[in-house]
Amino acid sequence: MLLFIAKLKRTLTPRQYIRLLDTHDLGKKVSNRLMAKVGISTEGKVVIRPPFYFEQGNLELGEGAFINSGCVFLDEAPIRIGRYAMLGPQVRLCTTSHDVHPERRKSNDFTAPITVSDNAWIGAGCVVLPGVSIGCNSVVAANSVVTEDVPPNALYAGSPARFKKWLVVPEQV
């Protein structure tokens, strides 16, 4: 019944979509249609394995993007997932953070967008912090905490994530 009502409504709240995703096997076609009603922008078919959690629907998903189970997107600022990008299970993308000073912590939060470029792969359990961009074809190893931009064609790992090697060696200028 909930699915039938959702198909008739023009818009859905993120909470309603999450509930549908968690309780129904929607299939790619229906899931993509319902994402549009929440405000999530998609370029084509995407795969999202439930459970999947987000706050605002401030998401742009490229064609062929794959989001594995248990991912959490705190999307106060925009989150862009590129074409054929893959996110492992339990990945957390956080666009909001707080001041570290104890007196300003509750009142001085800030937001910044996150971009995961085309064909990037973020391993299981990674955390990506506000303002980070992950370059095309890059890989972030499992359980890493990404605090800075990752250039294209690079492997990053650790907490905090650091450069490990080039996946494709950049041409010398």
Can you give the pTM of this predicted structure? 0.84
Check if 98 is active-site: yes
Burial class (CB in 10 A: 0-12, 13-18, 19+), 49: middle
User: Which residue among the candidates 9, 15, 28, 98 is catalytic per the annotation?
Assistant: 98
d(CA 56, CA 33) in angstroms, rounded, equals 17
Render each residue's pLDDT in the chain as its tens digit; 173 residues. 455 555 555 677 777 777 777 777 777 677 777 777 777 888 888 988 988 999 888 999 999 999 999 999 999 999 999 999 999 999 999 999 988 888 888 888 889 999 999 999 999 999 999 999 999 999 999 999 999 999 999 999 999 999 999 998 877 65
Model pLDDT, residue 95? 97
d(CA 108, CA 47) in angstroms, rounded, equals 36
